[in-house]
Structure formats: C-alpha cells, structure tokens
Amino acid sequence: MNKTIRELAADLAAGRITSVELTQRMLARAEAHRAQGGHAYVSLDGEQALAEARASDAARAAGLVPSPLAGIPLSIKDLFDVKGQVSSAASLALADAPPAAADAQAVARLRAAGAVLLGRTNMSEFAFSGLGLNPHYGTPRNPLDRDRVAGGSTSGGAVTVALDMAAGALGTDTGGSIRIPSAFCGLTGFKPTAASISLEGTVPLSRSLDSAGPIARSVDCCAILYAALSGQEIADGAPSLQGLRLGFTTDYVGTHVEPQVRQAFERALDMLRAAGAQVEQFDFPELLELPVINGGGGLVAAEAWHWHRALLEEKGGQYDQRLAARIRRGQQQGAADYIDLLDARARLIAAAERRLAPFDAWLMPSVAILAPQVGPLEADDASFFATNGLVLRNASVINFLDGCALSVPCQAQGELPVGLGICALAGKDARVLQIGRAVEAMLGTRE
C-alpha cells in the first residue's frame, strides 16, 4: 500500500476504503509478521481497534470527521499509557505493573483526532538505546535487511510503518529515538521541541531531554500527526528553496561518518545548492565539549537513576544488564555534578543561538553510520557500547540543545537508507516542517 496519511484520508473520504477495511488489512499484516517471527508489536489490540474503526466509519457517514487522522490506524510505543493496558516500556520489570487508569495525554489527543489505535510497539528496554535490541521481547529487524537493526529506541514503531502495519507511529526521542529508526528504515521522523507535546502518562527516561513525536512516510504525515499531538496548526505549503540559508558543520557531527552516509549527505547538499539554496559550512567548536560534559553519563543517566533506583533495587535482575549498568552511572553523580550539567546545557544553547542565527536550518547526517548488523552487537558488549554511542551522537545534540529536527531519507535508489537531519532550535517546529516539505520534494526519495 505504502500510502501517506493524506492519501489514506482521501481514500476514506471518497469511499474507496472504509476504516474497518484499512484496519483489518493492517492487523492482518501485523499478525502475519508476528507469525513469521517478527517483533514489531509487543501486543495487538485487534478487537478494540476494529470497534474504533466501526465507530469512525459511522461518524464519517454522519458527517463527523474531526481531522485528517479520522479512521487512520496508528501504533503506540510501549511507554505511553493506554487506559486499561500495562505500560511495560518493553521491560520485564514492569510487566506486572497495574493497567493504566487513563490515556496518556498524547494518546488522548490522537483519539480526539479520530485515529484508530492498533497496539503497542516494541522498543529498546526503557528507551535507553539507539540500536533497538531487546532481549526480553525480541529485536525488531530492519525491514530492508533482516541482518541489521531497525534502530532505537522506537524500533517497533518504525517497523510497523515500514511494513504497512500502521500508517504512523507515536514514539519518543531522548537522544534520537525517533530519528535513528526513521533513518535506518527509510522513513521520516520528527522530534519536536520537547515542551510542545505533553509527556503526561509516559514512562520517562530523562525529564530534561524526553520528547514525543511521530514516525511516518512523509513530512506531511509528520506534520499532520504533530498538529494533532501539539494542538498547533501547521500550514500545508512549502517555501521555495531559492535563497534559503542552510548551514552544516564538520565539527563533531561531521566526523567518523561512514562513506556511504557522507556521499548521500554531500549529494543532498549539492542538490540543494543546485535548487538555489545557500548552503554554507560554519564552525561550531562548542560541540566538541559534549564528550566531556556527558562523560559521567550526562543528564540521561542522572535522571534515569532518579526514576529507576527503587525499581532496580527490587527487580534489577529482570533488567537487561547492559541497560542497568548505564542507568547506575547516574548513581555516581552528586547534586553539584547535576547542576554543572544544567549549566553546561544552558551555555551550549546560548552558543547555538549565536552559531545558528544566520541560518534557516542546520543540516547534518541524522546518523553517522548505516544500520549495523545485529549479530556483533548481541555478541560483544564493547561493540554494543561503541556502536550505540556513535549511532546516538548526532541526533542527541539536538535534544541537548532543546531543539527540533526532522530526519528525511536522502539515499540514492537501491542504497541502504540514510537520513538527512533538518534541525533548528526550540520553537521552530513549523519552520522545520515547512523546509522539510521542500527538501523532501527536491530529493524525491519518498515512494
């Protein structure tokens, strides 16, 4: 099918398909995927989804169509509360937690927009990895090469979209968890400004860095989902690329980039220049401070330890021990260390405001490498930690700077997916989405 949300909404409006038929098709694909050993969903809610689809069709027949998402099936990452369901964050340590008493606010907004919720998607346990490995519920595999990871932490969400088991996925992004799987799976992902979408009713990782957002097939799909989640209207149009000022830096995010990723990124820059954009290199040396700033585990470890300490004491044996070791790094940080981190973040945000002031957007490879193979990561801790760090490196910069960013596919036909990051600072969400529409149209990589 491979249709965008807007195309599916047009089919529903024209009566070419019903929400029930669309939901049945996606549920059937999800069941077949599971039967073939796939691990994208941790649970499917087929009966409830079909009931929601029937209600949507009836409402449409009565002239009630609350948004372009009406009747559209979506998947939900397993750390968002859905009333009556357990939010396990794909961890055995929360498998017996009480069912949620109410929907998370993001889930409630999708329901209010008329979306159909298909089920809960697999993820890196507690969202604490960019690779998507999960020893408890199985590792979702890359839909283009099953020997490779799908990327994390919203691994299952990306696979549900890539394999037409959902029209869009609700995910979270603390250091790239929406953009990394989007880049690895040839999809579009949007990490909004953190404050623009409520995280009420979610299992947290880092209160300073967490954000919620969509994975889907196009920038327009992400804009539709973002509008529903944030309550902000996003204009449909795209600006002319002519005269746009786009900056890129080789500092930090431009180093140790795999050749195929570099070629795809540079090809995209050349295409933008040919389309009339002003594409300029700039210096951002302050980024080189990040390895030192985060050397003790950073804000993620400190804030994850705060939330997990009691659960680790009670059920630490049920955690993936690689994850538990990363969280326990936060135990070594004192109050002064934490305040130093907050001060360093404020200092780098101020530097970013100066460095990015001349530009409409900041471009970078979403991830420095292609999707790595699963086998070596499962077999060797050193390989896992080194690869995870490199995979998270570029995307996590935007979370640290409290920014917003799209990842759009930019690979040549027949190549493994590569993501182009289109980034800006807090509050520039609408502008990033508008620029993203223009860049996507120029690249022509959407099916």
Among residues 56, 153, 218, 230, which one is catalytic? 153
Over residues 354-391, the pLDDT tens digits come to: 999 999 999 999 999 999 999 999 999 999 999 999 99
* pLDDT for 423 beyond 60: yes
Q: Is 88 a catalytic residue?
A: no
Backbone angles phi, psi at 424, to 5 degrees: -160, 175
- Report whether the peptide linkage leading into residue 153 is cis, meaning its omega lies within 30 degrees of zero: yes
Structure confidence at residue 289 (pLDDT): 98
The answer to whether the CB of 191 falls within 8 A of the CB of 405 is yes
CATH of the domain at 135: 3.90.1300.10
Over residues 114-172, the pLDDT tens digits come to: 999 999 999 999 999 999 999 999 999 999 999 999 999 999 999 999 999 999 999 99
Whether residue 287 is contained in a domain is answered as no
Whether residue 213 is contained in a domain is answered as yes
Question: What value does the mean pLDDT take over residues 294-300?
Answer: 97
**Burial (CB count <10 Å: 0-12, 13-18, 19+), residue 135:** middle
The answer to whether the CB of 140 falls within 8 A of the CB of 39 is yes
**Residue 298: C-alpha distances to residues 175, 293, 305 (Å):** 11, 7, 11
Whether residue 141 is contained in a domain is answered as yes
Whether residue 135 is contained in a domain is answered as yes
Q: Is 75 a catalytic residue?
A: no
DSSP 3-state of 28? helix
The overall pTM is greater than 0.85: yes
Amino acid at 289: E
Q: Is 3 a catalytic residue?
A: no
Over residues 54-113, the pLDDT tens digits come to: 999 999 999 999 999 999 999 999 999 999 999 999 999 999 999 999 999 999 999 999
Whether residue 74 is contained in a domain is answered as yes
Over residues 13-32, the pLDDT tens digits come to: 999 999 999 999 999 999 99
Mean pLDDT of the chain: 97
Among residues 177, 182, 211, 407, which one is catalytic? 177
Amino acid at 126: F
Over residues 223-248, the pLDDT tens digits come to: 999 999 999 989 888 899 999 999 99
Total number of domains constituting the chain = 1
The answer to whether the CB of 26 falls within 8 A of the CB of 165 is yes
Structure confidence at residue 437 (pLDDT): 97
Which strand (E) or helix (H) includes residue 75? strand 73-77
* pLDDT for 447 beyond 80: no
Whether residue 383 is contained in a domain is answered as no
Dihedral over Cα of 447, 397, 402, 282: its sign? negative
Dihedral over Cα of 276, 283, 130, 425: its sign? negative
Question: Sorting pLDDT into bands at 50, 70 and 90, what band is 209?
Answer: very high
Which strand (E) or helix (H) includes residue 363? strand 361-365
Among residues 3, 77, 191, 428, which one is catalytic? 77
368 DSSP assignment: S
d(CA 398, CA 174): 9
* pLDDT for 398 beyond 90: yes
Tokens of 130: 């960019």
Structure confidence at residue 237 (pLDDT): 86
**Residue 45: C-alpha distances to residues 48, 76, 154, 337 (Å):** 6, 11, 19, 44
Partners of 190 in the β-ladder: 406
Domain that holds residue 144: 5-230
Question: Sorting pLDDT into bands at 50, 70 and 90, what band is 445?
Answer: low
